Amino acid sequence: MKALRKFLDKQKPKFQKGGKLHKLESTFDAFETFLFVPNTTAKTGAHIRDAVDMKRFMFTVIIAMIPALIFGTWNVGYEHYLSHGQTVDFLTNITYGLMKVLPLIVVSYGVGLGIEFLFAQIRHEEVNEGFLVSGMLIPLIVPPDLPLWQLAIGVAFAVIFGKEVFGGTGMNVFNPALTARAFIFFAYPGNMSGDKVWIADKPDTFSGATPLGNALVGNLKDLPSAHDMFFGYIPGSVGETSTFWILVGAVILLLTGVASWRVMVSVFAGGAVMGLLFNLWGANTYMEIPFWQHFIMGGFAFGAVFMATDPVTSSQTTKGKYIYGFLIGFIAVLIRVINPGYPEGVMLSILLMNAFAPFIDHLVVQSNIKRRLKRATVAVNK
Amino acid sequence: MSTIYSIKKGLDIKLLGGAEKTVVDLNSRLFALRPDDFVGCFPKMLVKVGDEVKAGTPLFFDKYRDEIYFTSPVSGKVLDIRRGEKRKILEVVVESDGKNESLDFGKSDIASLKREDVVEKMLKSGVWPVLRQRPYSTIAKSVDVPKAIFVSAFDSAPLAPDFDLFLHGYGKEFQAGLDALTKLTSGKVHLNVHKKKTLSKEFLEAKNVQINTFQGPHPSGNVSVHISRIDPLNKGEVVWYISAQDVLTVGRLFLTGQYDSSCMVALTGSEVKNPRYYKTRKGASVTHMLQDNVKEGNLRYISGNVLTGSVIEKDGFVGFYNSHVTVIPEGDYYEFMGWLAPGFSKFSISKTFPSFLFPNKKYRLDSNVHGGPRAFVATGIFEKVFPFDIYPMQLIKAIMVQDIDLMENLGIYEVDEEDFALCEVVDVSKTEIQKVVREGLDLMRKEMS
């Protein structure tokens, strides 16, 4: 390691001010800090600092996604061979899945990180690690057969217009991964919705409808068993199908304290309340499905665990988090059942609440301010 | 029986190198006052190098508040006036003659004194600066009548010294000091003790004060926390506060008429060979206590605790408001893939390092920041260590954009930079939060004056 460090120390001046490659300073810095935690010591304030930094924070989220990613990769293969009437061994499924999923990951990271580096360079800032998570999320929420150029355009749109125009990581209003998905969804609906896209290279004779698609048209008898939906042996976006493996990720996020349990729990609570309300109403067969089935269909669990909890775009106050999460779950199920156009409502629901999160925080903070003013008035009148 | 205030949010950072309860005399020859210890103070010198002084002889005063004198803690002669950039005065060093003679300010019977008498005597002797006010943490204004005075009987910061030991055997002086303080406020003098740590009768049997009991992790000993629970500060109000050891100085002034700044200082930290207590006077040089008493390596010497203290040189001086010196390793090293490695010996409030499995482990932490500065991303983490009815992230952002109305509305008067020290420690984005808060407080002070 010493040789590597020596090499970096030797190269560093070239990238610093006055050096030949100063324009690439952010890029050099990104690689240097990837290899070595910097030697910066506390200059002001507290003399000791928590060992966690943004890299580890973000990396923990990636680790939490890995179970869903591995299962999703396998499932891409499994669903493909199933649609062809074949059952093959684990390795064959995974290999097929990798052939579909790896390019998605490579394109997502390549395009996204490229733009991030460029913007960091222009701003003379260090490269933020936010996209490490977004870049992994995006492949998990698109269908396996999505044309790569469409993915690339979606990612570019999300990073530039969803994030960088707001000032970069930490300043964005909308979840970048969902912005990418929404862009692709509306720009290329043929590849992002319907019954045909959720299984890779599916023969036309095989019905590839997702449980949500079936449920929306009232076709409840074709729903897979709850067991299959929970463990994820169903068609869908790459990483969203297995509630079980998503929950494993949730446990990692909550144990490490990286994601907010308040948001996660509230999303499920909101979905449950809306589901129960529909059960009471019972105007059609879809309304009558047990509320918990919403959790194991489509992207509900994935949205609740990985999307709604994005600390930048969610509410930032403790009380706000409960309201924000609850409304996401509530509106997601509402869209699913009432809206005839889209079978899935989680993406739109989270994006909608992203827009409202600052307003929720504003209300919560205002109540704190009012409380303080009231106390002051009481003290004056005493 | 007093009410028990239980602080839930906070964090005790367990460090190696707590002081053993042995007290030795520190034979320090040099003592110094550092104008930077006093928020907003602009010193005007009253002595020259070589002048003979006694304890209580004014060394300088504050240009903007000329009633406040800063006096020599010992008798001897002025050895040096150290200046920095733009001739800013950094330290006024006095060489002690070992006699500890004080100017005589006259004994007095506290019970018969009026408020003005107490104020005058404290100002004249240079004891006054031990009284600080909230908001802003500046030296108290003698024309203000605070709604309450807060005395902390414990410190909850990492490696904090034991206040019981400081006061052991000084019950009379302590009570006299408290009695003098009661003259200064229209309200109560609050003596805030810790449910488990405070055991001594000097604290628990103190009279003419309201004793409040606190428990819970740091910052349960911070005065802002006490104020917020007992008598919250509103706009336009002022409270004063003073450390328990300084109450002794006040007491001695009235009992003996002398400025006697005797105090104890704890030497702590993982890099100290024999962490223990020293008997000395205010502003003592740390040279003698560190001699042959620290381990090898590149070290950081801190006057105060690791959260809020200030860096001093190896031959520096203990700060006016500090009773505690900490020595930790510097963290100026690169760590290969440190963000990815398991990190069994790393401290983190997040449970992303396996060290969380050992909650009672004591750490040897260095000054490395462990990462580069980033935009605010993680949310909710500050709230875990910030026990106020204040939104820390929102307040910090309001300060950063210098929105004065919003800062006021969000409660800036109720806090001090030290209250944000834990936020700064746990911040994933590595923002210099205490500096930001100090800038906010300075801005408010200027706008409001």
Residue A188 burial class via C-beta count within 10 angstroms: exposed 0-12, middle 13-18, buried 19 and up: middle
Cβ contact B434–A45 (<8 Å): yes
- Please indicate whether, in this complex, the C-beta atoms of B380 and A373 are within 8 angstroms of each other: no
**Which one of A12, A53, A378 makes the best mutation probe of the B interface by having the most chain B beta carbons within 10 Å?**
A53
Distances (CA, A) of A248 to A64, A72, A252, A306: 7, 14, 7, 12
Tell how strand B262-268 and strand B30-33 pair up: unpaired
Q: Does A86 touch chain B (CB under 8 A)?
A: no
| Partner residue facing A312 (CB), from B367, B377, B389 | B377
The reply to whether residue B429 touches residue A311, judged by beta carbons under 8 angstroms, is no
Q: Is A251 an interface residue toward B (CB < 8 Å)?
A: no
Dihedrals phi, psi of A203, to nearest 5 degrees: -65, 145
| Neighbour order of strands in the sheet with B76-83 | B30-33, B89-96, B76-83, B52-53
- pLDDT over threshold 80, residue B379: no
Instruction: Show which of residues 164-203 on chain A sit within 8 Å of chain B, judged by CB atoms.
Output: 167-171
Chain B residues touching A168 at Cβ < 8 A: 375
B-chain residues within 8 Å CB-CB of A170? 374-377, 429
Shortest distance, CA A55 to any CA of chain B (angstroms)? 6
pLDDT of the residue at A148: 95
* Average pLDDT of span B139-151: 94
Is a pLDDT exceeding 70 seen at residue B288?
A: yes
Measure Cα distances from A297 to A191, A211, A334, B140 in Å. 20, 6, 14, 64
Q: Which residue has the tokens 């100026």?
A: B332
Mark yes or no for CB contact B372/A373 under 8 Å.
no
Please give the Cα distance from B197 to B14 (Å, whole number).
Answer: 16
**First vs last C-alpha separation in chain B:** 41
Chain centroid, CA A332 distance in Å: 15
- In this complex, the residue of B158, B235, B434 whose CB is nearest that of residue A44 is B434
pLDDT at A133: 93
B234: nearest CB among A59, A171, A376: A376
**Does A44 lie at the interface with B, CB-CB under 8 angstroms?**
yes
Average pLDDT over residues B419-436: 94
CA distance A293 to chain B (A): 31
Tokens for B268?
């702590």
Task: Report the chain A residue with the minimal C-alpha distance to residue B393.
Answer: A316
The predicted model gives B163-173 an average pLDDT of 93
Residue B270 has pLDDT above 80, yes or no: yes
Asked if B311 and B299 count as a contact pair (C-beta separation under 8 A), the reply is no
Work out the pLDDT band at B2, boundaries 50, 70, 90: low
Is B409's CB within 8 Å of A372's CB?
yes
| A318 shares contact with chain B (CB less than 8 Å) | yes
By C-alpha distance, which of B441, B417, B416, B447 is closest to B228?
B416
Cβ–Cβ contacts within 10 Å for residue A112, how many? Answer: 27
Q: Which residues of A touch B308 (CB under 8 A)?
A: 45-46
SS3 for A303? Answer: helix
Specify which residues B77 forms β-bridges with. Answer: B52, B95
Express each pLDDT in B317-349 by its tens digit. Answer: 999 999 999 999 999 888 888 787 787 888 888
Mean pLDDT in residue range B370-379: 82
Closest partner residue to A53 (CB to CB) among B306, B394, B430 is: B430
Count helices and strands in chain B by DSSP H and E runs:
11, 20
Q: Residue B22 above 90 pLDDT?
A: yes
Residues of chain B contacting residue A43, judged by C-beta atoms under 8 Å apart: 432
Residues in chain A where the model's pLDDT stays below 50: none
Long-range contacts of A328-331 (CB under 8 A, 24+ apart): A328/A266, A328/A267, A328/A270, A328/A303, A328/A304, A328/A353, A329/A266, A329/A267, A329/A268, A329/A269, A329/A270, A329/A271, A329/A272, A329/A273, A329/A274, A329/A300, A329/A304, A330/A270, A330/A271, A330/A273, A330/A274, A331/A270, A331/A274
Residue type present at position B287: T
Distance between CA A101 and CA A138 in Å, rounded?
11
Residue of B364, B391, B393, B427 to mutate, interface with A, max A Cβ within 10 Å: B391
B91, β-bridge pairs: B82
Burial of B443 (0-12, 13-18, 19+ CB in 10 A): middle
Choose the closest CB to B434 out of A46, A57, A170. A46
Residues 6+ apart with CB under 8 A from B13: A48, B158, B218, B306, B307, B347, B363, B365, B425
Using the Cα atoms of residue A118, residue A122, residue A126 and residue A128 in order, give the sign of their dihedral: negative
B286, B324, B275: which is closest to B304 by C-alpha?
Answer: B324
Report CA A24 to chain centroid distance, whole Å. Answer: 30
Contact B334 A37 (CB under 8 A): yes
Nearest CA among A239, A232, A233 for reference residue A66: A239
The answer on pLDDT for B205 being more than 70 is yes
- In this prediction, residue A275 carries a pLDDT of 94
Write the residue in A57, A171, A321 that is nearest to B378 by C-beta.
Answer: A57
Whether the CB of A7 is below 8 Å from some CB of chain B: the reply is: no
How does DSSP classify residue B233? -
* Closest Cα in chain B, distance from residue A236 (Å): 30
What count of other Cβ atoms lies within 10 Å of the Cβ of residue A308?
31
Q: Structure tokens of A199?
A: 């299984």
The nearest CA of chain A is from the CA of B324 a distance in Å of 15
Q: Nearest CA to CA, how far is A1 from chain B (Å)?
A: 7
Question: How many CB pairs below 8 Å do chains A and B form together?
Answer: 218
Q: Taking CA atoms, what residue in B is nearest to A168?
A: B375
| Cα-Cα-Cα-Cα dihedral sign, residues B129, B130, B134, B140 | negative
d(CA A22, CA A14): 7
Cβ neighbours of residue A361 under 8 Å, at least 6 residues apart? A315, A316, A317, A320, B394
**H or E, element range at B59:** strand B58-62
| A 147-166 residues inside an 8 A Cβ radius of B | none
SS3 content of chain A, % helix, strand, coil (to 5): 70, 0, 30
Name the minimum distance, in Å, from the CA of B32 to any CA of chain A: 22
The predicted-structure confidence for B341-362, as pLDDT tens digits, reads as follows: 787 888 888 888 888 888 888 9
pTM of the full structure: 0.92
Other CB atoms within 10 A of residue B182 CB: 17
Position B378 scores a pLDDT of 66
- Cis ω for the linkage preceding B392 (within 30 of 0): no
Q: Do A316 and B234 touch (CB under 8 A)?
A: no
**Structural domain boundaries in chain B:** 4-256, 369-448
The verdict on a CB contact (< 8 Å) between A55 and B339 is yes
- Report the 10 Å Cβ neighbour count for A231: 17
The token duo for B318 is 């203990």
Using an 8 Å CB-CB cutoff, list chain A residues near B234.
372, 375-376, 379-380
Chain B CA closest to residue A314: B379
Judged against a pLDDT cut of 60, whether residue B1 lies above it is answered with no
Q: Could you tell me which chain A residue has the CA closest to the CA of B375?
A: A170
Q: Which residues of B touch A40 (CB under 8 A)?
A: 368-369, 372
Please say if the pLDDT value at position B42 is more than 70.
Answer: yes
Angstrom distances, CA of residue B103 to CA of B71, B96, B106, B320? 10, 15, 9, 20
CA distance A191 to A336: 20
Asked if B335 and A130 come within 8 Å (Cβ–Cβ), the reply is no
C-alpha B95, offset from chain centre: 24
pLDDT at position B177 is 95
Distance CA B26, CA B267 (A): 11
When CB atoms are compared, the residue of B234, B335, B380 closest to A36 is: B335
The letter for the amino acid at A273 is V
- Nearest CB to A51; choose among B234, B343, B434: B343
What is the percent of chain B where pLDDT is above 90? 84
Q: Which of B332, B336, B377 is nearest residue A1 as measured by Cβ atoms?
A: B336
Query: What whole-number distance in Å separates Cα of residue A249 and Cα of residue A237?
Result: 17
The beta-carbon contacts of A101-106 under 8 Å, at least 24 apart in sequence, are: A101/A69, A101/A72, A101/A73, A101/A76, A101/A139, A101/A144, A101/A238, A103/A148, A104/A138, A104/A139, A104/A142, A104/A144, A104/A146, A104/A148, A104/A151, A104/A238, A105/A135, A105/A136, A105/A139
What interface predicted TM-score (ipTM) does this complex get? 0.90
Chain B closest CA to A80's CA: distance in Å? 36
Q: Which amino acid is at A146?
A: L
Interface touch B335/A40, C-beta < 8 Å = no
How long, in residues, is chain A? Answer: 382
Res A286: pLDDT = 85
Please answer yes or no on whether A257 and B376 come within 8 Å at the CB atom.
no
Contact A51 B334 (CB under 8 A): no
% pLDDT > 70, chain B: 99
pLDDT at A382: 61
* Residue among B14, B327, B428, B432 with most chain A CBs within 10 A, to mutate: B428
Pairing of strands B299-303, B310-312: antiparallel
Could A37 and B380 be called an inter-chain contact, meaning their C-beta atoms sit closer than 8 Å?
A: no
Distance from CA of A351 to the nearest CA of B (A): 18
Q: Nearest CA to A69 among A306, A262, A228?
A: A306
